[in-house]
Amino acid sequence: MLEFFRNGGFSMYPVLVFGLLTLGAAIHFAMRADKKVRNFIEPMYKVVVFSSVTGLLTDLATVCGYLESHELGAKFATTCAEGLKESLGPVIMGSSFLVLTFLFVAIGQRRLDARLATA
C-alpha cells in the first residue's frame, strides 16, 4: 500500500487529504443525518474528483516528459506501461474514497428521509 502511494507521486497527498475530509464528513452525516453536513459533502466530492484527475494528468505529463527525454529503445513499451500504471494511483485512490463516501451518504440520506417522514 505504501508503495502504491509512493508510485502515485506528490499528487496523492491532495487526494488523500480531501478524500479523508470528505469521507469523514460522510461518516458524520451517516451518524447524525444533518442536512448541513450533506451540503458540505456535495462540493467536496467534486474536489476529490478534480484532485484525482489533476493527479492523473500531472503523472501522465511526467511520464511523457520522461519518455521524450530518454532514448529507451527496446525498453520503451515496458517503461510506458509501468509509467501509465503508476499514473493511475490518484484516480484509484480518489475513486475508492468516493465509493465509501457515497455509501455513507446513502445511509445518512436514508436516516434523514426516515426522520423527516416521521416529523
pLDDT tens track for 5-20: 999 999 999 999 999 9
Residue 72 pLDDT grade (very low, low, confident, very high; cuts 50, 70, 90): confident
The model's pLDDT over 19-44, given as tens digits with 9 standing for 90+, comes to 999 999 999 999 999 989 999 999 99
pTM of the model: 0.90
| Of 87, 86, 85, 97, nearest in space to 15 by CA | 97
Longest dimension (CA), the chain: 70
Looking at residue 61, its pLDDT comes to 95
Question: Which DSSP helix (H) or strand (E) runs through 31?
Answer: helix 12-32
In the chain, the percentage of residues whose pLDDT exceeds 90 is 84
